[in-house]
Structure 1
Amino acid sequence: MKKASILMIIGSLFLLGLFVFPLWNIMLGAPQYPEPLGMNIHIDGIKGFNEFDIQNIDGLNHYIGMKTIPKPEEMWEFSTFPLVIAAMVFLGVLIGVLGYFKKVSYKWFLGWFVFMSVLGVLGMYDFNAWMTDYGTNLDPHAIMKIANPDGTPMTYKPPLFGNAKMLNFDVTSLPDTGAWLMFIGMSLTVIAFFVGKKSAKSIS
């Protein structure tokens, strides 16, 4: 059980990487931009991949009526998500420590994983809802109004995952370092569950 508990503690601590590295990355490439424009989505705000990317993206978006990229104080998520992640790290470490001293069973490790997974799904849903609003709720007085072949207004929602073509831009949206660290950490907590389960069976 001690080995399982240590894995649980280490897995939980991997989530601290979200405070350092971006969770998601969106890149926009076009022939007129030798260097693609990009946004790094952190748990506490959105930053440009390069120094002036946010300003350049906002400038392009202005012509087609998209809102400016929100600042941290303009979205409740950017103040809430860091608190949620900090709480889950604390809870995971606490469960690991209690497991080390045999105060809780290995089943708590799986419980933490399930809870974190639910929070992750809710976070992705919220992120996708924001991108949908960002790409479809356009200013009717925009300089450029581009319609689909059927006459409906074109939308500019970035893909949640993968690649999409928007006008002359190739847009790629993929998990970044923070997301992969979170994935590794959560995987370690699942391994901790099975190691703890195996240890409990060997004792019994």
Structure 2
Amino acid sequence: MKKASILMILGALLLMGLFQFPLWNIMLGAPQYPEPLGMNIYIDGIQGMNEFDIQNIDGLNHYIGMKTIPKAIDMWEFEVFPIVIASMSIIGVIIGLFGYFGKVSHHWFLGWLLVITILGVLGMYDFNAWMIDYGTNLDPNAIMKLQNPDGTAMSYKPPLLGHQKLLNFDAYSYPRLGGYLMGAGMFLTFIAYFLGKKSKTINT
């Protein structure tokens, strides 16, 4: 159980990487931009991959009526997410310590994993909902008003995951290092649960 508890602690601590590294990235590439424009999405805000990326993206979006990239103070998520991540990391470490000293069973590891998984799914749902609003709730007085072949207004929503063509831009959306660290932490927690379960079976 001690090995399992150490993995539980390590898995929980990996969440803290989200305070240093971006969770997600959206990149826009087009022939007129030798270097693609990109946004790194952190749990406490959005930053451009290069110095003027956010400014350039906002300038492009202005023509088609899209909103400007929100600042940290504009979205409640950027205030809540750091609190949630820090809390879950601390709780995970405490559970791991209790497991190390035999105060809790491996079932607590699974419980923590289920909670962080649910929170992750809710976070992705919220992120996708924001992108839908960002890409479809356009200014009716925009300079450019483009339509689909069926006459409906064109959506500029970036993909949640993967690649999508937006006019002459190629939009890519993938996890970044913070997201991979979070995934690794969840995987270590699953291994911790499995080892804890196996240890209990051997001892009985």
* Other-structure match for 2:168: 168
Q: Structure 2 unaligned segments of length 5 or more: list them.
A: none
- Give 2:149's aligned amino acid: P
Q: How far apart, CA to CA, are the structure 1 residues paired with 2:34 and 2:91?
A: 46
Q: How far apart, CA to CA, are the structure 2 residues paired with 1:117 and 1:171?
A: 27
SS of the residue corresponding to residue 25 of structure 2 reads strand
Residues 40-51 of structure 1 correspond to what in structure 2 (within 5 A)? 40-51=40-51
* Other-structure match for 1:139: 139
* Other-structure match for 1:187: 187
Superposition RMSD in Å: 0.4
Answering whether residue 58 of structure 2 is matched by residue 58 of structure 1, we say yes
SS of the residue corresponding to residue 201 of structure 2 reads helix
* Other-structure match for 2:130: 130
Q: How far apart, CA to CA, are the structure 1 residues paired with 2:81 and 2:52?
A: 25
How many Å apart are 1:151 and its aligned residue? 1.0
| TM-score for both structures, normalised by structure 2 | 0.99
* Other-structure match for 1:12: 12
- Give 1:91's aligned amino acid: I
How many Å apart are 1:72 and its aligned residue? 0.1
Alignment length (residue pairs): 204
How many Å apart are 1:201 and its aligned residue? 1.1
Q: How far apart, CA to CA, are the structure 1 residues paired with 2:74 and 2:178?
A: 22
SS of the residue corresponding to residue 157 of structure 1 reads coil
| TM-score for both structures, normalised by structure 1 | 0.99
Q: How far apart, CA to CA, are the structure 2 residues paired with 1:130 and 1:155?
A: 13
